[in-house]
Structure 1
Amino acid sequence: MALAKKGLRKIVVDDQIFYWKIRKIVSHNEKHDDEYGIPVQHESEGQLLLIYTGFCRSIDYGRELMNITPKLIQSKITEAIELGWNYSQPGKAVDLVKGN
């Protein structure tokens, strides 16, 4: 499954091109304090990575604001690769959860 092209952000990690995205529209689940998985995919459109860092835009549940920066995304991509993420191979999406 490939990421929709609109709104993608490009990042280079170890000479490999990846794309990531944060939706502009807050989802129903996110409004109700569900954490948002930030999708990341290699340019080859291989296995999708969902990065969970605690990011949520719920205003009703007292969550602190969190900045999602390219540096954070880069470090999480590196971590996922070290944990065995096969970014260029097709397959089921992989979750990278905060603290793992």
Structure 2
Amino acid sequence: MAIAKKGLRKIIVIDEVFYWKIRKKISHNERHDVEYEISVQHESEGQILLINVGFCRSEPYGRESMEITPSLIESNITEAIELGWEYNKQGKAITLM
């Protein structure tokens, strides 16, 4: 399974190319105060990493907005690799919280 190509952002971590994506529109889950997971995948289209950074764009629930930056994504990718994420192999998506 691969992340849809439209709107992907490229990032290089440890000399490897990864792509990540944030939806432009607020999702149904976010409207109901469910934290958003950011999808990350290696260029080989291996196992997807879902990064949960406690981010939700749901204003009615009084959450402060959070800026998602490439450095935040990079640090989470590095952490996932250190925890054993095999980014270049196929497999069920995993979540990093």
TM-score, length of structure 1 as denominator length: 0.96
1:47 pairs with 2:47: yes
Q: Give the fraction of aligned pairs with identical amino acids, expressed as a percent.
A: 71
Instruction: Spell out the pairing of 1:14-93 with structure 2 (5 A cutoff).
Output: 14-93=14-93
Give the Cα separation in 2 of the matches to 1:78 and 1:28.
29
Q: Give deviations 1:22-56, integer Å, cap 9, x for gaps.
A: 00111111111000000000000000000000111
Give the Cα separation in 2 of the matches to 1:73 and 1:67.
11
- 3-state SS, counterpart of residue 12 of structure 1: strand
The CA RMSD measured in Å over matched residues stands at 0.4
1:5 maps to a residue whose letter is K
Residues paired across the two proteins, number: 97
TM-score, length of structure 2 as denominator length: 0.99
